[in-house]
Amino acid sequence: MTLPSRAHKALLTTAAVLALGLVLSGCTGRGSSASAEPDGPTPTAAPGAVDVADCENYQPSQGISDDEIKLGATYPDSGPLANIGAVARGMKAYFEHLNATEGGIDGRTITFIGKDDQYDPTKAVSNTNELLQEEQVFAMVGIQSSAGTTSVWDQLNAECVPILLSTVGGEPMSSRLAHLNTTDGLVPYASDAYGLATHAIDTWQSQKVGILALAGALQDAFTAGVTAGLEGTDAELTLVEAYQVGDPTVTAQITNLKAAGVDTVILAGAGATCPQAINGIRDADWQPHILVSFTCSVVTHLADPVAADGVVSGTNKVPLDESSPEYEEFVTAAAEYAPGEEPSIDMATGWLQAQLIAEILRSAPALTRVDVINQALNLKDVTVPMAAPGITFNTSATDPIPFESVRMQQFNGGSRQWEHVDADVIDLDGVLASLEG
């Protein structure tokens, strides 16, 4: 297995490039006079990775009219992981802000239609069917679970329906390359884990690393990513402990990690268990270094501020504090379009994802499904206002992952805010592909 260097150099998977032989042509911007041709003949796709001829039951511009773009989303808005629904509300707030300030995209307002799936993939399937068949949406966006996205991506890939900025964090590169209609909305879990592991080695010279993870995709991906990040060092992955959604506590897992002599804990989970684990480590009279997945970072502020002080995570967003004009715009819009909602990191994640979706729609040569998919696969050094300085988004048909760079951040228990700890951008390009090499 060939892995990125300790200096986080970018890795190009040449074999995949040669095997696929897919070359994307450059796409030019589209002015407001461009027509989606919803009722006309099927348009010819711009040259790219996905061809209209390969699409089943192709409906090129369903959900597009002269004055509207309809987007659908399914996500947990109730149940133990209901906090994730704030991502969708952040996305919706941005689209409403865009409609109010710019009239949408090329004179078309964006209508965002969301449905609660309670983090249940079977409900994600039924929600997606309703959104496509009854609501007649153009694309799915912001599906907020890997299980939910992968439960629908086979059929939607066959029909060339875009799935934009949706979670497929635990999927390997080979699965992503087989579903080019899908653009991930987060850093791949294994890449996130790799970045955290290398930070622990470079910063603290950690020797015995342990993982506490949500069982399933997060556990598997973090085990692979941390193992890769520790390769070639004196450190070891000492113990991996898992928990299930709905487990009342993780006290036993914390006890096992402490007993194993772990000096650095990586928490990979979601929802209330993340702050509970941070508090549990303190309550165990144990002081390891703590790093958390980006899925945990959104709820770290719910932990006791003393217990959470110094916790480290990766991010691709601007600092969420009053000194940032991007944060000020976000908070103002959130108050107007999501009244009563705390302007949280989850909401900011949805805001950033929506900014990138808007850029894809705006830059596509025409508002057809194939053109939008191909544009999502042809991002070149794209940046959006909510992205941290130095973070750019790049995709291709051989690397369809836009989120492959992060900056490290540390939680300040006094202010209860995340703070960037250095100016360096950690390049995770090629990490996921290398794990299958």
Break the chain into its structural domains and give their ranges.
46-187+321-403, 190-315+410-434
CATH 3.40.50.2300 fits 46-187+321-403, yes or no: yes
- Strand 139-141 relative to strand 182-184, pairing: unpaired
| Of 331, 357, 378, nearest in space to 73 by CA | 357
What residues have CB less than 8 Å from 82, skipping those under 6 apart? 76, 271
The neighbour count for residue 332, using CB atoms within 10 Å, is 12
Whether 282 contacts 306, CB under 8 Å = yes
269: its two tokens: 């989970």
Is residue 93 within 8 Å of 114, Cβ to Cβ?
no
What does each of the 437 residues of the chain score in pLDDT, given as a tens digit?
Answer: 344 444 333 323 333 333 333 333 333 344 433 444 444 333 333 457 999 999 999 999 999 999 999 999 999 999 888 889 999 999 999 999 999 999 999 999 999 999 999 999 999 999 999 999 999 999 999 999 899 999 999 999 999 999 999 999 999 999 999 999 999 999 999 999 999 999 999 999 999 999 999 999 899 999 999 999 999 999 999 999 999 988 999 999 999 999 999 999 999 998 899 999 999 999 999 999 999 999 999 999 999 999 999 999 999 998 877 677 888 899 999 999 999 888 888 999 999 999 999 999 999 999 999 999 999 999 999 999 999 999 999 999 999 999 999 999 999 999 999 999 877 899 999 999 998 86
Q: Could you give the C-alpha distances from 306 to 13, 53, 263, 282, 290, in angstroms and in order?
A: 43, 58, 19, 9, 13
| Identical topology for domains 46-187+321-403 and 190-315+410-434 | yes
Assess contact for 172 and 218: CB atoms under 8 A: no
Give every CB contact of residue 306 below 8 A, 6+ residues apart in sequence.
Answer: 282, 413
Pairwise CA distance, residues 144 & 73, whole Å: 9
In whole angstroms, give the CA distance from residue 122 to residue 264: 37
Q: How many CB atoms lie within 10 A of CB 423?
A: 9
For residues 433 and 174, what is the distance between their CA atoms, to the nearest angstrom? 8
Tokens 């995209």 locate to 105
Coil vs helix vs strand at 132: helix
- Given a contact cutoff of 8 angstroms between Cβ atoms, the answer to whether 159 and 56 are in contact is yes
Name the one residue in this structure whose structure tokens are 């994640």: 349
Residue partners of 415: CB distance under 8 A and separation at least 6? 321
**Which two three-digit tokens encode residue 272?**
């209330």
Whole-prediction pTM: 0.86
The partner residues of 420 in beta bridges, in order of sequence, read 409
C-alpha 334 chain-centroid distance? 20
Is 190-315+410-434 CATH 3.90.1200.10?
no
Give the 3-state secondary structure of residue 144.
coil
CA 14 – CA 285 distance, rounded (Å): 49
How is the chain split among helix, strand and coil, in percent rounded to 5? 40, 20, 45
DSSP letters for 31-75:
-TT----TTSSPPPPPSSSS-GGG-TT--TTTTB-SSEEEEEEEE
The C-alpha atoms of residue 154 and residue 98 are separated, in whole angstroms, by 31
Query: 409 and 419 in contact (C-beta within 8 Å)?
Result: yes
Local structure of residue 317 (DSSP, 8 states):
B
